[in-house]
């Protein structure tokens, strides 16, 4: 499994500049807002999900986005409702611990078992912030460079709006 050091080396090899800020481990969006300081750019929250057939999805959302989990499966081509994948699957496919899910984790998905679903709201930001394989730091990367990173790993993200359609107020959200 590739580590934070391997990730930064990979980004450097691609000519991608990043800036990383160290902080105490963060386990939620609320903790992140309180402890990260004023790091510019869009901030992500990540959901590691599976469908009824066991297919895995990594949803990378803008941190303020209310993700419509109830109807998301219809919009991303999943078979049936989505549920959270296990910590063991997370470790095996992304090489990260629960609480450290990150868009960068797909560097470890060499067999391309994980489908990346990217929130279109992140694309309005010039810079995006993700954990660099650990929740004890935040790495800022240009949004276009994040897309280049996905391409370098063979993960072409599905870019969609993640909020529930208007009038659908009974959906489960995360």
Domains and CATH numbers, the chain: 4-160 (3.90.960.10)
* DSSP code of residue 123: G
pLDDT at position 169 is 47
pLDDT at position 7 is 98
Lowest mean pLDDT among 2-6, 138-142, 160-164: 160-164
Average pLDDT of the chain, as a whole number: 90
Q: Which residues touch 93 (CB under 8 Å, ≥6 apart)? A: 56, 105, 108, 109, 113, 114
* Burial degree of 15 (CB within 10 A; 0-12, 13-18, 19+): exposed
Check residues 168 and 83 and name the one with the higher pLDDT: 83
Q: Output the pTM of the full model.
A: 0.91
- 2-57: pLDDT as tens digits: 999 999 999 999 999 999 999 888 777 676 766 556 788 999 999 999 999 999 99
The CA distance from 120 to 4, in Å, is 26
Is pLDDT above 70 for 170?
Answer: no
Confidence of residue 166 (pLDDT cuts 50, 70, 90): low
């Amino acid at each position: 499994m590739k580590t934070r050091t391997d990730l930064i080396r990979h980004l450097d090899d691609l000519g991608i500049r990043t800036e990383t800020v160290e902080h105490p481990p963060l386990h939620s969006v609320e903790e992140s807002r309180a402890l990260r300081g004023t790091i510019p750019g869009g901030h992500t929250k990540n959901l590691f999900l599976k469908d009824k057939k066991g297919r895995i999805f990594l949803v990378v959302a803008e941190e303020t986005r209310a993700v419509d989990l109830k109807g998301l499966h219809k919009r991303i081509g999943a078979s049936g409702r989505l549920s959270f994948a296990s910590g063991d699957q997370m470790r095996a496919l992304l090489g990260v611990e629960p609480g450290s899910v990150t868009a960068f984790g797909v560097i470890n998905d060499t067999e391309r078992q994980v489908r990346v679903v990217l929130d279109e709201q992140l694309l309005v930001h010039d810079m995006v912030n993700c954990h660099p394989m650990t929740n004890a730091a935040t790495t800022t990367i240009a949004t276009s460079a994040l897309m280049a990173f996905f391409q370098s790993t063979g993960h072409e993200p599905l870019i969609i709006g993640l909020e529930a359609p208007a009038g659908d107020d009974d959906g489960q959200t995360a």
